[in-house]
A and B are shown apart, each in its own frame.
Chain A
Amino acid sequence: MKVTFPHMGSTLVYRKLVEMLGHEAITPPKPSQRTIDLGVKYSPEFACFPMKVIMGSYVEALEKGAEVILTSGGHGPCRAGFYGEMHKRILNNLGYEVDVWVFDSIKRDYKNFMNIVKKLKGDNSWLRLWTILKLLYQVTKDVDGFEMQLQTKRAYETKKGDCTRAWDKIQHIYNSVQDEKGLKEARQQCQNLIDEIPVMIIPEDQKIRIGIVGEIYVVMESAANMKMEETLGSLGCEVRRSHYISEWIEHNMIPKAFSKSHEEEILKKGEKYIEIKIGGHAKETMGNIVDFHEQGFDGIIHLMPFGCLPELVSQSIMPKLMDDLDIPVLTIALDEQTGTSNNLTRIEAFLDLIRNKKRNRLSKVS
């Protein structure tokens, strides 16, 4: 079966999962201008940006011959949980005969969930499935760890682009991991790769740390956020995101009894500003900012798709939170209008303010 999936950040894990279970993985190309154009053409005008990009990705994957789309669902009230249904209707209307397998929460629709698992599992034994999942979980943890190292190093690399190249290599190395033994070798190899990158020495008090928070898709997919991480890195900032795949798995896939996930704590931290979970990642956004502030970050970039329902609530509360914590936040709404220089100007100005503030603790950024 030819299976495809949305392009969100690194596609390594999804691809490996599909391949290791014996299906053919059709990896959608990294979203480009063409992807966005296709998505915009076929999606509802006021649908949020992630939906449009994913729509474009699907069309491109279907052109490459995909037969099945594998995606995650949701139980609302954020629109993202309904993407699967919507995409299916639109694609069918365009004449594509495609199956959309949506992983909804197991509690909401147990039968459907198990159905998809069984179809995906195919002839593999349950034990094999378990081994694969365990291995892939470790892969995501490793890869996320390396990504964080690179997000720090990128700010100080002497040769621009070293870290990004290393990142591509790491994904390539992990792509061929098949078992625990291979995992160990890959881990060593990648760590060496990162350690070899030459860096400048910057005094501690001049380092700038920026947290990127917001809606998960635009935070994770660099094609949708105009390469925010790389841009910040090249401007000399250490970067952390609010979302990493391994954390998402911990929060959504592993039963609460076995782990106290990082996200639970984050949610608690956001409670003062948004009392209940209102869907999407609005409450997490608030919690993450509080968390980054406690870790001593210098500034926050808040990314949201234009018109994102939950993030509009967090954006509304942002001025109050900035006041409370005395931390600068720059909110950027993203959509298909890709004015890179406009964004670059805003980010540069934002970083200038942060640098000034750091230099002179007395001056207040308002």
Chain B
Amino acid sequence: MRVGIPRGLLYQYYYPFWKTFFEELKVEIIVSSPTTKEIVNKGIEFSVPEICVPMKVYTGHVEQIIDKVDYVFIPRMVSISDKEYFCPKFMGLPDMIKYTVPGALNKILSPKIKSDSDSIANPKFYGELKSRLGISTWDLHRALKKADKAWNNFRALSKKGYILTDALDIFEGKKVPSKEPTFKDGEVTIGILGYVYDIYDPFISMDITDKLKELNVNVLTFEMLEDQAIKDSIKFMHKKLFWTFSNKLLGAGYHFYQNPKVDGIIQVTAFNCGPDSMIGKMLELESNHFEKPFMTVRIDEHTGESHLQTRVEAFIDMIRRKKMAGGVSRESNLSPYGLNTSI
């Protein structure tokens, strides 16, 4: 029995859980290779043109492993928080893959995850796996418990300040945890807002975190913050967003605005991302209020790396000039940049 796990979407966030889970069940797993141009092209071939790039990439990953496995694991992520959901594309993902990728029709394992917290270990979600993989209830419970523990350890690494990719490497034993997880000596601190599948897929985000480190910048992301801190910073909103991860990003955004250590915010968003169109506008409006620079970088399947480099460098330069002794103290004295100058 072989189960495939596509290296896309929530892979970066839940892989330690899935891996431990299947290993405990003595099921061999096959993970698709890191994103390449070929995978992206395959993804484009099988998905509708308008859909966002992470979805296209995911489709490509499924296509890569579909012939080599008995099942592909594509959980139907409905919610991981009370009264909140995932983006509709996540909720319809198994249906979408089932009918678009050739050969996927009967090969999809899609337990319906409808949890009220980030933990996805409730055995009642995984009922359908028992018959299809031939496992007992007891085995299922045990494996889920182990998986949850592994996942919590992994989340703890993030909260210590490890970048998600490093945390994954540590989980897999490729790296030893160092004493100083964060890069702390940068001149500038930037909060990056973006979904895990955009930022940590080196192909999609063109390694934006590394680019920033090279520019001597400290990087903060939402998964490094405590859940409670994120929740508190959007407590004032009467009606919150419907999407859990978008709420996390929005909360992190407000947190970054309020945190005096953070000098600026870069939002990394995929072309045509629906939830981000809302977050982007809200944070853009707030940027004036908090007088902190905010920039949106929009990405898609085109690979113009230099444009990203230029924009990020310009943004950092601008912040540096502002911080320099005797430099420009007020933002409005700077030359126009990005989206935030006027509305």
Interface on A for B, CB 8 Å cutoff?
Answer: 43-48, 73, 75-79, 81-82, 84-86, 89-90, 93, 102, 104, 108, 273-276, 278-280, 282, 306-310, 312-317, 319-320, 333
Contacts and interface: CB of A to CB of B under 8 A. Distances in A.
B112 interface: yes
Contacts of A82: 239, 241-242, 278
B51 A312 contact: yes
Contacts of B272: 46, 306-307
B277 to A, nearest CB: 4
Contacts of A79: 274-275, 277-278
Interface string B86-116: 1111011011100110000000000010000
B241 A316 contact: no
B88 A77 contact: yes
19 contacts: A44-B280, A46-B271, A46-B274, A46-B280, A77-B88, A79-B274, A81-B242, A89-B281, A90-B285, A276-B91, A279-B85, A279-B242, A282-B88, A308-B274, A310-B92, A313-B96, A316-B47, A316-B100, A320-B100
B78 interface: yes
Nearest to B114: A276
B89 A309 contact: yes
A284 to B, nearest CB: 13
Contacts of A312: 48, 50-51, 88-89
Interface of B: 47-48, 50-51, 76, 78, 83-89, 91-92, 94-96, 99-100, 112, 237-239, 241-243, 271-278, 280-282, 285, 343
Most chain B CB neighbours (cut-off 10 Å) among A46, A48, A306, A307: A46
A360 B275 CA distance: 46
B89 A313 contact: yes
A193 to B, nearest CB: 42
A229 B106 CA distance: 39
Given A44-B278, A93-B343, A309 B95 contact: no
Contacts of B273: 46
Given A307-B274, A310-B88, A319-B99, 9 more contacts: A77-B243, A85-B239, A279-B242, A280-B88, A306-B272, A312-B51, A313-B96, A316-B47, A317-B99
Given A48-B274, A77-B242, A108 B83 contact: yes
Nearest to B112: A276
Contacts of A306: 50, 272
B84 A76 contact: yes
